[in-house]
Amino acid sequence: MIRGRSRVVLPLGHFLVDVVVLVLWVWHSQDLFRQTKGAVWFQPVAMLQENAPQFEPKFDISPPGQYLLLALGNLPAMVVSENVRPRAWYQSRTKLWDPWWFLIHESVASLVWFGLGMYGDSGRLRLSKAIERFLIMRCLVTPFVNIGWAARLGVLAEGLFWMGLIVHFIARGVKWGYRLVHR
């Protein structure tokens, strides 16, 4: 990446990828809801008898791949935004996305990418190429986000990137602590 530019390119690039993923996710959801609007839905009938089975809706469904691709684009931002606005991924006909979740997520993500960019621009971060490749991978996966296998592949790559980054920073911390103790 161009020296001195990572602090600008990383937040801006990931923001643009996140906006495109969000637009494709909402567009896909609108299309799905439009297709099912005319379908016949069976509604459970509540029985007033004592031994009748109880209807309790379960919400054990997992988040869609588009949401995971968007959220895992920045793991620290995902942790913060998910704790502040849980279940932001749940969609209905009246609520296709949570703008507050997206605002919180992008605010934290911009700070994280800006910090990583500044750290990379200082020359102390050896992962500059990996971070650049991560942005390129997200750009390449984004157009195919509504295809199930592509979204899963992108989520897997993002998870591996963040695991590698965590291992890298833990190793640097151990190395720093070792040097500090053995002076």
Residue 91 lies in a domain: yes
Domain hosting 138: range is 6-33+64-181
Residue 131 lies in a domain: yes
- 13 φ/ψ angles, rounded to the nearest 5 degrees: -65, -45
Residue 28 lies in a domain: yes
Dump pLDDT digits (tens) for 127-169.
Answer: 778 888 898 999 999 888 888 888 889 999 999 999 999 998 8
Residue 40 has what pLDDT?
47
**pLDDT for 7 beyond 70:** yes
Q: Determine the Cα–Cα distance for residues 41 and 20; give it in Å rounded to an integer.
A: 32
> Residues of 139-163 as b/e, b for ≥16 C-beta within 10 angstroms?
eebbeebbeeebbebbbebbeebbe
Give the count of beta carbons closer than 10 Å to the beta carbon of residue 43.
Answer: 6
Domain count for the chain, please give it.
1
